[in-house]
Amino acid sequence: MSDSPGEATTRLRVQCPDRPGVVSAVFDYLYRHGANILQADQHSTSGEHPRFFLRVEYDLVNGNVPAAEVATGFGDEVARRYDMEWSVSYSSDRPRIAILGTREPNCVLDLLWRARTGELTAEIVTVLSNREILRPLADRFDVPFECLPVTRETKVEQEKQMLERLQGRVDLVVLARYMQILTPTFLDEYPEKVINIHHSFLPAFAGADPYGQAEQRGVKIIGATAHYATEDLDAGPIIEQDVLRVTHRDKRPDLIRLGRELERVVLARAVRWHVEDRVLVDDNKTVVFQ
Amino acid sequence: MSDSPGEATTRLRVQCPDRPGVVSAVFDYLYRHGANILQADQHSTSGEHPRFFLRVEYDLVNGNVPAAEVATGFGDEVARRYDMEWSVSYSSDRPRIAILGTREPNCVLDLLWRARTGELTAEIVTVLSNREILRPLADRFDVPFECLPVTRETKVEQEKQMLERLQGRVDLVVLARYMQILTPTFLDEYPEKVINIHHSFLPAFAGADPYGQAEQRGVKIIGATAHYATEDLDAGPIIEQDVLRVTHRDKRPDLIRLGRELERVVLARAVRWHVEDRVLVDDNKTVVFQ
Amino acid sequence: MSDSPGEATTRLRVQCPDRPGVVSAVFDYLYRHGANILQADQHSTSGEHPRFFLRVEYDLVNGNVPAAEVATGFGDEVARRYDMEWSVSYSSDRPRIAILGTREPNCVLDLLWRARTGELTAEIVTVLSNREILRPLADRFDVPFECLPVTRETKVEQEKQMLERLQGRVDLVVLARYMQILTPTFLDEYPEKVINIHHSFLPAFAGADPYGQAEQRGVKIIGATAHYATEDLDAGPIIEQDVLRVTHRDKRPDLIRLGRELERVVLARAVRWHVEDRVLVDDNKTVVFQ
Amino acid sequence: MSDSPGEATTRLRVQCPDRPGVVSAVFDYLYRHGANILQADQHSTSGEHPRFFLRVEYDLVNGNVPAAEVATGFGDEVARRYDMEWSVSYSSDRPRIAILGTREPNCVLDLLWRARTGELTAEIVTVLSNREILRPLADRFDVPFECLPVTRETKVEQEKQMLERLQGRVDLVVLARYMQILTPTFLDEYPEKVINIHHSFLPAFAGADPYGQAEQRGVKIIGATAHYATEDLDAGPIIEQDVLRVTHRDKRPDLIRLGRELERVVLARAVRWHVEDRVLVDDNKTVVFQ
């Protein structure tokens, strides 16, 4: 939770066991504290233990009460009663992002550019890599770059180095075609805070060389998938996917070229939605309030 | 508003001037009357006179109070206070539809089939036409068919006949490639209750022979548009659109064939959403809560 | 190869080892025999043993020479020399199709309707099923229906019955959500002549209950795949695929409903392309000349 | 026509009145001169004066004869006889592009980046603008930038300046959201060599502020269109279009943001296809051999 909202709108995210009264309790609280609701989305799952998901974006009609105070009160008064996981952020927040990449520059450039133009309300604080290739690109955007080469022997140590570099400095890690598998140790530090782009329509073609696999199988459509990274490789909660038609003429290099468009667009959407607090994780799936 | 909900869920639709408290008032009322919210969508427009749109789907935890009674109470207690236009319907409702067609059978078959299989929760009570062509199709589904031929001279009279046939018997009129322009007199009887399918991506290629126009212009994508019919031809509030890629090889007959898929899918979605009370009209646009 | 083309256009399909001169040889032959080329598509694969694929559609400027004679001459004069697999068909041909279904009527209706309206230039000669459910639908289109119930014990016998029914009477078998796995014995009788529709974006969610699998995995896009059936279940050459966006709101029943649209459109395209001789099989892939 | 092909493949483009023998004549010539055909696409229009379009990509089996010589011979031996417009280029060619922009950097960056990474086989020789805004972007890629401010008084003079700058130095002019209308004088110098990106699905929302128009009309899909610029504003031959779904929530600023993705992707495809000689102009339409 950030603390200085200023003119910004507030985003309240909630998830809890679903039960009657929960919606009413939230909106009643917000109304009593002068919230003017700009956008609100909710979702209830079905099944034995239904869960409730909510995202509200509001500004405060009465500017006297600080937004953070309203948020704190919500925790005490409402969230506790309904056993809510909740968080508040402000549209003025600029979450700090670390990009991890290896060789492919497209997704990296895309994110750097969107952050630069303000389309992505975030600050890219560093580009880390196991190679030197992306350094000039990071330099061009005046973003600190660091190369931590990884071999089988140094993997554990290098990841530790990485964690140290990031410690307390980033809110989100984006794997922009990073060609190393992160260990559970790393992932545990950033639960639901590591977004990976996989260059296939998962669960098709998980693993290595998805474009080669796609050519081999003769599919007529290729895809890309942005998901939260978990210990299960390529099996974390999917945030966004998109696809593109291909034909028998498109060989692996064509698929790679065409897929690049998908990768960067899909990754950019996922990062944007995460940054705007639009993605709530429901076990191994996501609820995305676009 | 129907009156016998049984096991059905209730759908409450609201639109009113946007102001603080309106969301809270609705959900508070629903909570106090035992509503268990299954789905809720809201939207606020911006501008000088912002409007608020809401659709809530709920069932009643306490089965003692009839759903209709809860709805009536809502009118007295909440709707009046906030100057709401509102309506209630039940998932068990089967709105009565009249299909108007001329020659093209595809959209007509599609709707008849969806109603038959229960995918579309509606009853198609009649197929009216200015030609005999569609009679066998209607017969096959045991839906009453009537042919009211139209000439320049008989147009006014025939439309009067049509209105009489429909009077009090239908909740929605679907123009499934009906090749006559309805007069304002007719449309006034069914405000926001006449859905038309136009075989282009409006506002491109409004008017006659859109596929011919599309071939002429050499577009690379064709579309179809379902909208509420208004006095302004092809200019009513758009409910749904979809598109399809075409190439230089596709001549007018190909566009017609390809477009047929679009027309029926787009029309079916629009009718379904209307029937499920998911479409709210905001001046000349629609708010669609999918 | 059919024998009486009349006014029809001729379609020549060729595949052979790729080598210089092959294109020239084909077009030279056609020119010398008075062919006016309406459409021509070719494709060469790469790799060690490149193959050449060609589809030409033409009519004969000089109506004196029968089209079949021109075709025969092609075999003697050109095809032998270049080691070609080749075939000729005419736009007036109406290949005979057997539909195999079980419970789901949508794809069956769709094909029956397209054949009836002439959009699909084919004759549906029978609907076979292991259940009685689809009988009324076949009846409605005056297409012979036969039910051959299958149990573990009768499976082999029933498939034999089926083969006998189809023997010499059909050119294509369409599995329109047929819920039995065909044996290699059956498939060997109809190589590259059995088209199956799988209700997922293969290779994702092969096997049973793909919509359940899709819901479980939380994908944001669902798909359907039409492919030639081979002994490897859900692994035959893909002819066509298409997809549709879904959200966290769409549960298994919604996916089933939404997927129905995909299934029938994708299957219809694949069957149409097959019937128009647009699909050439290249090992485990297809070359589709749309 | 370039003159030094080296290892490159040759692309032959032809259009002429359609008549029997034309296909055969081309492929026969190519075969006799040792061409190994890699890709070939043809198209015949219908109507009273049918035209034939062809694009062949080949390499020469016998490296002894220079590719340019083969091309010259084609002109003498084949093209003249069939009244062909034709041209030859080589995959090693790097056409010279001038980008004209004003304020929007996205398309400009996109093209600069694709040229830099080699994905676009072209050389961007200059960025011209009526503003200074894009200078830093051009600088970053070491591409010469020049600002030629335009007022009503200076328009004619400045365009003359522009033409002088470009004279003999560029093969293609790309209007990457250039906010000035080019005069016929300019366009006449670059027939079918000026590509414009329009931020709507033409012919819908031609003219100014298409996103504003789209919001106003309440469309459910927005688009972008790349076309050859002609004197008729926004009415030149369409090369490529693509679209994106939007909802009632998307206001003009959202449409602008979402549309940016479309614009750059659509423009990039059109420029790529032009550069690879895949676009043939057929009166006011294009034949695109992808």
pLDDT per residue as tens digits for the range C215-238: 999 999 999 999 999 999 899 999
Q: Per-residue pLDDT tens for C36-80?
A: 999 999 999 988 999 999 999 999 877 667 888 888 899 999 999
Domain, as residue range, for A171: 96-288
CB pairs A-D closer than 8 Å = 12
- Identify the pLDDT of residue A182: 94
Q: Which of B272, B244, B274, B241 is nearest to B258 (CA)?
A: B244
B221 touches chain D (CB under 8 A): yes
Cα separation, A14 vs A89, whole angstroms = 12
My answer on whether B212 and B104 are in the same domain is yes
* Cβ–Cβ gap C241/A223 under 8 Å: no
How far apart, in whole angstroms, are the C-alpha atoms of residue A207 and residue A200? 9
Helices (H) and strands (E) in chain B, counts: 8, 13
Flag if B20 and A28 touch (Cβ within 8 Å): no
Pair C194, C246 in one domain: yes
Q: Is residue D26 part of a domain?
A: yes
Here the CATH number for the domain that contains residue C73 is: 3.30.70.260
Domain termination residue (choose one: A90, A123, A144): A90
C3 in any annotated domain: no
**N residues, chain C:** 290
User: Does a structural domain hold residue C1?
Assistant: no
Token pair 């468009």 is found at A261
Of C21, C35, C41, the CB nearest to D31: C21
Q: Look at residue A4 and tell me if it is in a domain.
A: no
Beta-carbon separation of D257 and A140 below 8 A: no
Side-chain-side CA neighbours of residue D122 (13 Å): 27
Q: What angle in degrees, to the nearest 10, is found between the helix axes of C106-117 and C252-275?
A: 30
Contact (CB<8Å) B44/A61: no
Within a domain: D1: no
Alpha-carbon distance of A201 to A225, in angstroms, equals: 6
> Per the domain annotation, does A5 fall within a domain?
no
Give me the interface pTM, i.e. the ipTM. 0.94
Asked if B249 lies within 8 A of C140 by C-beta distance, the reply is no
Rounded to the nearest 5°, which phi and psi values hold at D126?
Answer: -165, 150
Through-space distance between the first and last CA atoms of chain D, rounded to whole angstroms? 21
Q: Write down the pTM of the prediction.
A: 0.96
Q: Does A287 touch chain C (CB under 8 A)?
A: yes
Of A43, A64, A90, the domain-final residue = A90
- Whether B200 has a pLDDT exceeding 60, the answer reads yes
Please name the amino acid found at residue B269: R
Phi, psi of A254 (to 5 degrees): -70, -45
Helix axes D106-117, D252-275, angle to 10 degrees: 30
Do C79 and C102 reside in the same domain of the chain?
A: no
**Does residue A184 sit within a domain?**
yes
In sequence order, which ranges of D194-251 are alpha helices (DSSP H)? 210-217
The reply to whether A202 and A135 lie within a common domain is: yes
Interchain contact B105–C (C-beta under 8 A): yes
Q: What residues form DSSP beta bridges with B59?
A: B36
Model confidence band, residue D6 (pLDDT cutoffs 50, 70, 90): low
Q: What is the pLDDT of residues B215-250, one digit of tens each?
A: 999 999 999 999 999 999 899 999 999 999 999 999
Beta carbons within 8 Å of C96's beta carbon, 6+ residues apart: C122, C123, C124, C125, C169, C170, C171, C172
Together in a domain, C113 and C45:
no
Do C106 and C145 lie in a common domain? yes
Question: What is the DSSP code string of C19-30?
Answer: -TTHHHHHHHHH
Smallest CA–CA distance, residue C265 to chain B, in Å, is 8
Q: Among the listed ranges B256-270, D54-68, D242-256, which one has the minimum average pLDDT value? A: D54-68
- Residue of A9, A18, A24, A43 to mutate for B, most B C-beta atoms under 10 A: A24
Indicate the residue type of D279. V
Q: Are residues B57 and B171 in the same domain?
A: no
- pLDDT of B6: 53
Residue A203 belongs to domain with CATH number: 3.40.50.170
Asked if the C-beta of C201 comes within 8 angstroms of chain A's C-beta atoms, the answer is yes
Instruction: Tell me if chain B has a CB within 8 Å of the CB of D242.
Output: yes
| Under 8 Å between Cβ of D16 and D42 | no
Together in a domain, B135 and B263: yes
Residue in A with minimal Cα distance to C249:
A43
**Does the residue C150 lie in any domain?**
yes
Question: Is the same domain home to C121 and C239?
Answer: yes
**Are A113 and A218 in a shared domain?**
yes
Distance from CA of B8 to the nearest CA of A (A): 17
CA distance C252 to C213: 9
Which B residues 119-178 touch C at CB under 8 Å?
Answer: 119, 140
Chain A / chain C CB contacts < 8 angstroms: 77
**Which of D41, D234, D242, D254 is flagged as catalytic?**
D234
Confidence band, pLDDT 50/70/90 cuts, at residue B65: confident
Chain A contact for C219 (CB, 8 A cutoff): yes
Interface contact flag, A23 B31, Cβ < 8 Å: yes
Positions of chain A with pLDDT lower than 50, given as ranges:
1-5
Residues in B 243-282 with any Cβ partner in D closer than 8 A: 243, 247-249, 251, 282
Secondary structure of residue C136 in the 3-state scheme? helix
**Chain A residues with beta carbon closer than 8 angstroms to that of C239:** 220
Instruction: Read off the pLDDT of residues D159-218 as tens digits, 9 standing for 90 and up.
Output: 999 999 999 999 999 999 999 999 999 999 999 999 999 999 999 999 999 999 999 999
Choose among C20, C31, C42: nearest Cβ to D24.
Answer: C31
Query: Which residues of A fall within a CB distance of 8 Å from B31?
Result: 20-21, 23-24
d(CA D196, CA A61): 46
Mark which of B45, B73, B90 sits at the end of a domain. B90
How many other β-carbons are positioned within 10 Å of the β-carbon of residue D149? 10
Contacts of A193 (CB under 8 A, 6+ apart): A171, A172, A173, A228
In 3D space, the residue among C93, C115, C73 whose CA is nearest the CA of residue C6 turns out to be C93
For the stretch C260-289, pLDDT in tens is 999 999 999 999 999 999 999 999 999 999
The pLDDT value given to residue A4: 40
Instruction: Report the pLDDT value the prediction gives residue B1, as an integer from 0 to 100.
Output: 37
Residue B3: pLDDT above 80? no
Q: State whether B86 and B101 are in the same domain.
A: no
Domain count, chain B: 2
Judge contact between B23 and A27, C-beta under 8 A: yes
Residues B147 and B271 occupy one common structural domain:
yes
- Distance, in Å, from the CA atom of B85 to the CA atom of B22, rounded to the nearest integer, reads 13
* Cis peptide bond upstream of B184, omega within 30: no
Among A41, A234, A242, A254, the active-site one is: A234
Q: SS in 3 state form for chain A?
A: CCCCCCCCCEEEEEEEECCCCHHHHHHHHHHHCCEEEEEEEEEECCCCCCEEEEEEEEEECCCCCCHHHHHHHHHHHHHCCCCCEEEEEECCCCCEEEEEECCCCHHHHHHHHHHHHCCCCCEEEEEEECCCCCHHHHHHCCCCEEECCCCCCCHHHHHHHHHHHHCCCCCEEEECCCCCCCCHHHHHHCCCCEEEEECCCCCCCCCCCHHHHHHHHCCCEEEEEEEECCCCCCCCCEEEEEEEECCCCCCHHHHHHHHHHHHHHHHHHHHHHHHCCCEEEECCEEEECC
Chain C residue closest to B257 (CA)?
C119
Instruction: Give the residue on C whose Cα is nearest the Cα of A234.
Output: C217
Give residue-wise pLDDT tens across range D124-171.
Answer: 999 999 999 999 999 999 999 999 999 989 998 999 999 999 999 999
Is the Cβ–Cβ distance between C107 and C267 less than 8 Å?
yes
D47–chain C Cβ distance below 8 A for any pair:
no
Q: Nearest Cβ partner of D23 from C21, C27, C44?
A: C27
The answer to whether residue B209 is catalytic is no
Interface contact C28-D24, CB threshold 8 A? yes
Q: What per-residue confidence (pLDDT) applies to C69?
A: 87
Question: What mean pLDDT comes out for the span C155-171?
Answer: 94
Does the bond joining A253 to the residue before it have cis omega, within 30 degrees of 0? no
pLDDT at C4 over 70: no
